[in-house]
Amino acid sequence: MRKIFGPAESNAYFRQLADGLPQLVWACARDGHCDFLNQQWLDYTGITIEQQLGAAWLQQFHPDDLASFTLALQNLPLAGDSLQIACRIRANDGSYRWFDTRARPVTDATGTFTGWFGSSADIDDQRAAADASREITAYAQQAQLDRAYLAAIVENSNDAVISTTIAGRITSWNKAAEQIFGYAAEEAIDQPITLSTAQVERWFTRARSVIPYDNQLAQLNLLDSHDTPRLLTLLQGDVARMKIAATLLFTYPGVPCIYYGDEIGTQGAGDPDCRRCFDWQRQNWNRSLFDHYAQLARMRRERAEWQRGAYLTLAMGDDWFAFARFSASQATIVAANRGSDVTVRIALSSLPIEGRDPADLGWHDEQGQSATIDGFHLVLQLAASSSAVVLSR
């Protein structure tokens, strides 16, 4: 093997100098055969110098980087040229780290190029940081595009799309919301949501009018999900209003879809807090809320009109409204009240029950107690923040 350096004394002095450097220092001929590796290289690779002299040292380079490195060694440098290449070198634990490898050409007394004297500096951490920075930048750019795309969809949607803070203040209000609720965006932004019953009913009616009813019956209805704050948290723990929402979820056209934990009173703000683990300790459950969900589930299994029946709004007030789900032979009347105690009268004459007097259908509540009928009106005493379900025989 051809020696790159001269006398042994010079080599001994050079080795002491090279061993004191933090980089991996090496020297090789133009054909890649190595005759010098410093102590840092030996410690890093964990292989003795005897096992690496000659071409064997090249086995420590990553297979994907070896061809470009050996090609760079073989290129005849021009005056003043140096070699610089990023490549991976195998460590003593078998892993590969990135190194910034640089070398200067070595010439003999006649000025003939004989090989390279080089060093390799570990840049793996810097490269990882740069890669991470690029990924973050790319993610941020994609997120910006996604937000712009979503904003365009929301702004051009025929449905009212509204976003709020967890405290209920409006942060966005699209064009459809302006048309449906009659308020411009600048009037609604930063205001608390105070929709009237008539506005809510108009919203529901519009939503039903644009989707075939058979499709609506198959659609999943949600109060919250893993992407949103839990409704009970938005309601600031108001279980009575949560029960109203659950009643509407089970009785409104569509398939009720319960986000795990809602039925036992699980709370949670925005993602990931809304994904809290289910609490299997039954003593921690809100039994009143759980029993309410269980009763609604039982009735939905038993009442065909809840599953496939038509929908009809019957009456409404400032803070309450009532609707019916009905088939040709059965009906259910649902009333929801977000306000204070109120007595409501609901006309039954509009219910199209074939061959039967709507006022004489054996109306009763969930417990089987007879409902109050006054002529052709159902009379309900609605407690504050409550719902009522009245069933026909």
Residue 310, pLDDT > 70, answer yes
129's enclosing H/E stretch is helix 124-155
Q: Which residue has the higher pLDDT, 107 or 1?
A: 107
**Residue 79: predicted pLDDT:** 59
Class of domain 8-122: alpha beta
**305, 318, 388: which is closest to 351 by C-alpha?**
305
Instruction: Tell me what the mean pLDDT of segment 96-101 comes to.
Output: 96
Q: Cα separation of 329 and 358, whole Å? A: 10
Instruction: Tell me what the mean pLDDT of segment 174-183 comes to.
Output: 86
Query: At a CB cut-off of 8 Å and minimum separation 6, what does 46 contact?
Result: 91, 92, 93
The domain limits of the chain are 8-122, 195-391
State if pTM tops 0.85: no
Burial (CB < 10 A; 0-12, 13-18, 19+), residue 386, is buried
Q: Cα separation of 153 and 157, whole Å? A: 6
Q: Cα separation of 67 and 53, whole Å? A: 19
**CA 58: distance to chain centroid?**
46
Q: Do domains 8-122 and 195-391 have the same CATH topology?
A: no
Q: Which residue has the higher pLDDT, 122 or 112?
A: 122
Tally of CB atoms within 10 A around 321: 21
Residue 190, pLDDT > 60, answer yes
Q: Cα separation of 187 and 177, whole Å? A: 12
**Residue 131: predicted pLDDT:** 87
Q: Cα separation of 112 and 183, whole Å? A: 85
Give the mean pLDDT of the chain: 90
Give residue 162's identity as a one-letter amino acid code: I
The fold for domain 195-391 equals TIM Barrel (3.20.20)
Percent of the chain exceeding pLDDT 90 equals 61
Is residue 138 within 8 A of residue 158, CB to CB? The reply is no
Compute the residue count for the chain: 393
Q: Cα separation of 158 and 182, whole Å? A: 14
